[in-house]
Amino acid sequence: MLNMIQLMIVSIALFAVSTSSLEIDFVPNTFVIEFDRPIQSFASKRHVLSKRSLFYQQLEAYNISYEVRHEYEIINAVSIAFKSAHDSSLFFEKSLGVKKAWPVNTVSKPAVYQTKSQDSNDNVSSLFGLYNATGITRVRDELGITGQGIKVGIIDTGVDYMHPALGGCFGANCRVAYGYDFVGDDYMGDNAPSPDDDPRDTCNGHGTHVAGIIGARDTKLQFTGIAPDVTFGAYRIFGCSGSSSDDVIMKAMERAYLDGMDIINLSLGDVGWPESPASLLADELALKGMIVCAAAGNEGDKGIFEVGAPSLGKHALSIASVDNTHVLSHTIRLQNNLTLGYLTANGAVFNVSTARLTTSSDEFLADRDGCEPLKVNAMGKIVLMNRGGCMFSQKILNAQEAGAIGVIIYNNNPGPVTPSISDGKVSIDYGGISKADGYELFHYLRRNPNSDTVEFLKQDLSFPVPTAGSISAFSSWGLGPDLSLKPDISAPGGQIYSTYPVDMGSYATLSGTSMASPYVAGAVALLQESRGGNRAIGAQEVRTMLINNGHPFNVLHSESLESVARQGSGLIDVYHAVTSDTSVFPEQIRLNDAEHGAQNNEYTLTIKNNGRLASEYQISHVVASTAQGFKIKGTGSDVFPLKKPILLSHHEADAVVDILSSPVVLVPANEALNVTVRIAPPANAASMPPSIYSGYIAISKSQDNDGGGDVKYVPYAGLTTNLSQLPVLLVNSTTPRLLSQRINVFSPALLSLQLAEASPLLSVSVVNAADVSQNYGLIPGGYSRYVGRNSIDDPTDVLIMSWYGNVATSPEQASLGTFARHSRTQQEDVQQQDLLATAVNQHVSQIGTKLDKGVYKLKVMALKPFGNVENDQDYDI
Ligand SMILES: *[C@@H]1O[C@H](CO)[C@@H](O)[C@H](O)[C@H]1NC(C)=O
Ligand SMILES: *[C@@H]1O[C@H](CO)[C@@H](O)[C@H](O)[C@H]1NC(C)=O
Ligand SMILES: *[C@@H]1O[C@H](CO)[C@@H](O)[C@H](O)[C@H]1NC(C)=O
Ligand SMILES: *[C@@H]1O[C@H](CO)[C@@H](O)[C@H](O)[C@H]1NC(C)=O
Ligand SMILES: *[C@@H]1O[C@H](CO)[C@@H](O)[C@H](O)[C@H]1NC(C)=O
Ligand SMILES: *[C@@H]1O[C@H](CO)[C@@H](O)[C@H](O)[C@H]1NC(C)=O
Ligand SMILES: *[C@@H]1O[C@H](CO)[C@@H](O)[C@H](O)[C@H]1NC(C)=O
Ligand SMILES: *[C@@H]1O[C@H](CO)[C@@H](O)[C@H](O)[C@H]1NC(C)=O
Ligand SMILES: *[C@@H]1O[C@H](CO)[C@@H](O)[C@H](O)[C@H]1NC(C)=O
């Protein structure tokens, strides 16, 4: 399909427009510059340094103004900030013998969802209920392994080492023995960092929470993290608020390696590619024995193919999240001693300690409950209402006007609700409870009209989580954009209680794949100690041990296993990872699509028996849910990604699996044996909407004295459709489009577009309006590698490029510019005008050469995954 946009250049704007408040993915004029020769091939470090200073001399000779941000020691690269677009332009015009220049990406802080809790003196042991299922309890109690001698690097917001559970000090002989602050409090991601030696976290809390998950030793509340004897390194890459950038993160990763960290845990960016420099460095460090655990991402509501970098690194572990069994909550106690948890928007408990409760309607789940002036006597009472029908503030104000002292709103959907309002007229307490608790409370009040006085406890109590042990709603879907099997494994990350900076309350409950990733980091510390420490087990072996021993789990309220694209190999089990004497390799089977699958769909697995006795193994197949990731619109040629993939459970949607070897094999002690399986796409793959089908090859040890628990699972997943058939660039009569078509003294042309899938290369060039085969070159900012996808249901989630009528002289020069990406977190009601005003990216006006006045068209090309850059057929144009 050809879809070009006609526009007219009237004259070229060189006019100051207010700078962008949209999210720009790159730090302007800043690059990681990689030199030709890898660092190992240099005779000495001194030689590398002299080559680099030669490079700086060249820059100076060309009068290019620059500042060195970082020099790397593990890879032969530096990060450089040029003073202006003109300076970076000059750099790309001169050929200075560099291998590659990567624009430096900004990296947003991982999202977390916080449930504020009071400083509870309640017994918090229930909050660590999954320690049994994940084998932590047994490893510590039966094997006595606690992470002793293992160093874990935390690349994050710093760590509040003053917290007693984290040692109370920083430096040699402290729990936090290593660390550095690469950025300072005021760093936001696009301003200059101000590093110092002190990585203490006093203003954010994220890194302190992560440290506690990995290895808190809390004597006050009597809980411990996964590996309470590890030593920490705290590498601070986020200021108090805002983002970071990948060159800073690379420096922190390198420092962690040089400090001797065995494991690091980090999560960068939203959607990524294994080819980003940070992913490449993560892989490099993994090959040197440092284990990288990274969060899969919190984009669970965006549909498939949303796993974040660098968890996409081949050797990194990408961690999905499951919900915890218990959570602390503010508590209402009824006279029959029944307790219910409630949530408030500001995190505070209700001021009253006892109050009378009434319902505003005599019907449970009443329509528009509380939306009209109340008919019941609410004077001096707290009113229980159903959610829905009008704004929270209207319900609460109606109660307030009737003399109520508070409102509790129960959810009309499963799960909890936290009513949040911004109406200054509300002066009474308000909070929310789940639908199930609403049902209990409503009927209690109807049954016991004379026991309507309830208690609001000052301390939080622990409550069971209804979604315990299933995938967290926020946990991102895989697969990788290249159909690699990501995420790798799951760990508890929903409703996790841990340490928090002392100045911020000392404890907090947070949710996010950011909480699951350190759980695995702690588990890897236990694995390393079990093998003697000192990076004894390499990245590949750790991957195999963990993935082999995962426990696949079901979709909530279902008999079907959750898709491999969401859970990887299931819930982590450290005990079996440490003690098992069987391993299966490869640890995952990547089926790709029909164009990139194995010959005859046959795959070989090697079963290694590390035990002292011969073992018999049974090989079987366990199917997991097939996830329909796209819907087909109209005639069938338009396919669109679904925000909520549809789980298909009929057999025609499952892979067709045959165990080609004997289903029972005997493997002698200390030997390996190969088995072959055939995994073919679902029978009706051709007629299905594009879907990810998945499952596990299970290898069970027959004579097992461990209660039959020793089963290895090898996950597989593939795409029913050829990846090349899925749209990358969204093309219809309204998009891509020009938001302004005339380039004049006041404004550039603004090009808006959406990607339905991540693209390895997005380019925009200028062509003759009359003869589109005549190409004038790329627009500055119109050449970007590895661009993540948009949420195409959201018309404000777009990429916007500014064009001032100039063209770049090379792709490298074009890649100096960038586009604005509308932030997904901004509120929905962004006006088109606001978009226009904020999207202008003025620095691109200084790149390249100007075209004559005239009428031109823009040609937008998005390369498909696996596509060949040289082949026009592999682009959406
Ligand atoms: C170098 O650049 C500066 C401004 O950045 C300018 O003032 C100076 O004249 C330039 N020198 C040469 C030799 O081009
Ligand atoms: C907390 O509860 C657990 C189990 O309910 C119990 O084993 C433990 O001793 C309790 N701890 C304290 C400090 O009460
Ligand atoms: C965990 O296992 C221990 C025994 O190892 C047991 O005492 C405890 O009750 C279990 N906890 C949970 C939450 O199942
Ligand atoms: C662990 O990874 C998650 C993601 O940031 C990140 O949020 C968390 O901060 C990382 N943990 C560590 C250990 O650095
Ligand atoms: C509620 O608990 C209190 C104290 O534990 C006890 O005295 C009382 O009998 C209980 N009431 C009911 C209705 O169970
Ligand atoms: C609750 O008490 C606090 C502290 O006394 C006060 O600031 C707040 O306004 C009160 N809230 C309500 C809803 O009465
Ligand atoms: C996918 O690609 C393969 C190999 O090129 C081809 O044989 C097959 O017909 C394609 N499938 C579809 C559904 O187009
Ligand atoms: C088992 O398979 C692997 C990988 O395909 C191969 O390298 C190895 O030689 C095979 N071993 C045997 C004993 O066939
Ligand atoms: C083009 O696609 C977008 C995103 O799905 C949609 O909002 C818009 O209505 C489409 N336009 C037309 C003309 O179909």
Quick: pLDDT tens for 588-634: 999 999 888 888 999 999 999 998 889 999 999 999 999 999 888 76
For 380-422, write each residue's pLDDT tens digit.
Answer: 999 999 998 898 999 999 999 999 999 999 999 877 788 888 7
Choosing from 722, 724, 873 the residue with most ligand 7 atoms within 8 A of its CB, the one to mutate for a pocket test is 722
Contact 183, 237 (CB under 8 A): yes
Atom of ligand 3 minimally distant from the CA of 131: 1
Ligand 2 proximity of 222 Cβ (cutoff 6 Å): yes
For 269-284, write each residue's pLDDT tens digit.
Answer: 433 455 567 767 777 7
Atom of ligand 3 minimally distant from the CA of 138: 5
Contact 669, 663 (CB under 8 A): no
Determine whether 206 is an active site residue: yes
Contact 408, 418 (CB under 8 A): no
The pLDDT of residue 825 is: 37
The C-alpha atoms of residue 198 and residue 181 are separated, in whole angstroms, by 6
Contact 835, 739 (CB under 8 A): yes
Q: Is the peptide bond before 736 cis (omega within 30 degrees of 0)?
A: yes
Between residues 734 and 80, the one the model is more confident about: 80
H or E stretch including 211? helix 206-215
pLDDT of residue 20 exceeding 60: no
Range 94-104 burial, b when 16+ CB lie within 10 A, else e: eebebeebbbb
For 635-677, write each residue's pLDDT tens digit.
Answer: 656 778 888 999 987 888 899 999 999 999 999 999 999 999 9
Cα atoms found within 13 Å of the Cα of residue 530, Cβ hemisphere only:
24
Ligand 9 proximity of 735 Cβ (cutoff 6 Å): yes
Between residues 448 and 826, the one the model is more confident about: 448
Under 8 Å CB-to-CB from 606, ≥6 apart: which residues? 584, 585, 672, 673, 674
Q: Which DSSP state fits 563?
A: P
The 3 state secondary structure assigned to 581-592 is CEEEECCCEEEE
Tokens of 493: 């990350």
The pLDDT of residue 6 is: 39
Tell me, in angstroms, the distance from the centre of ligand 8 to residue 609's CA: 15
Tell me, in angstroms, the distance from the centre of ligand 5 to residue 337's CA: 6
Ligand 5 proximity of 337 Cβ (cutoff 6 Å): yes
Catalytic residue among 276, 329, 506, 514: 514
H or E stretch including 458? none
How much is the pTM? 0.85
Tell me, in angstroms, the distance from the centre of ligand 4 to residue 213's CA: 10
Atom of ligand 5 minimally distant from the CA of 336: 13
Atom of ligand 2 minimally distant from the CA of 124: 1
Which parts of 681-817 are beta strand (E)? 691-701, 711-719, 737-740, 742-743, 749-753, 759-768, 775-787, 799-803, 806-807
Note the ligand closest to the C-alpha atom of 339: 5
pLDDT of residue 7 exceeding 70: no
Q: Among 40-54, 133-147, 583-597, which stretch is predicted with the lowest mean pLDDT?
A: 40-54
Q: Label the pairing between strands 691-701 and 711-719.
A: antiparallel
Cα atoms found within 13 Å of the Cα of residue 482, Cβ hemisphere only:
13
Burial of 543 (0-12, 13-18, 19+ CB in 10 A): buried
Amino acid identity at 756: A
Ligand 1 proximity of 65 Cβ (cutoff 6 Å): yes
How far, in Å, are 63, 260, 290, 492 from residue 518 at the CA level?
Answer: 46, 18, 15, 10
Determine whether 514 is an active site residue: yes
Choosing from 123, 128, 137, 575 the residue with most ligand 3 atoms within 8 A of its CB, the one to mutate for a pocket test is 137
Between residues 29 and 469, the one the model is more confident about: 469
Range 350-386 burial, b when 16+ CB lie within 10 A, else e: beeeebbbbbbbeebebeebbbeebeeebeebbbbbb
Residue nearest to atom 1 of ligand 8 (CA): 674
Residue nearest to atom 6 of ligand 5 (CA): 337
Range 689-720 burial, b when 16+ CB lie within 10 A, else e: bbbbbbbbbbbbbeeeeeeeebbbbbbbbbbb
Tokens of 666: 């005997």
Residue nearest to atom 8 of ligand 9 (CA): 734
The C-alpha atoms of residue 681 and residue 675 are separated, in whole angstroms, by 20
Ligand 3 proximity of 126 Cβ (cutoff 6 Å): no
Note the ligand closest to the C-alpha atom of 575: 3
Tokens of 354: 């006892």
* Among the listed residues 13, 645, 585, the one whose alpha carbon sits nearest the alpha carbon of residue 304: 645
Tokens of 831: 């006006």
Choosing from 120, 121, 122, 123 the residue with most ligand 2 atoms within 8 A of its CB, the one to mutate for a pocket test is 123
Tell me, in angstroms, the distance from the centre of ligand 1 to residue 84's CA: 13
Determine whether 771 is an active site residue: no
Kindly report the number of other CB atoms within 10 A of residue 559's CB atom: 7
The C-alpha atoms of residue 468 and residue 794 are separated, in whole angstroms, by 31
Catalytic residue among 156, 201, 369, 482: 156
Tell me, in angstroms, the distance from the centre of ligand 7 to residue 722's CA: 6
* Domains of the chain, first to last: 28-103 (3.30.70.1510), 114-325+467-548 (3.40.50.200), 330-460 (3.50.30.30), 580-725 (2.60.40.10), 737-876 (no CATH)
The pLDDT of residue 137 is: 95
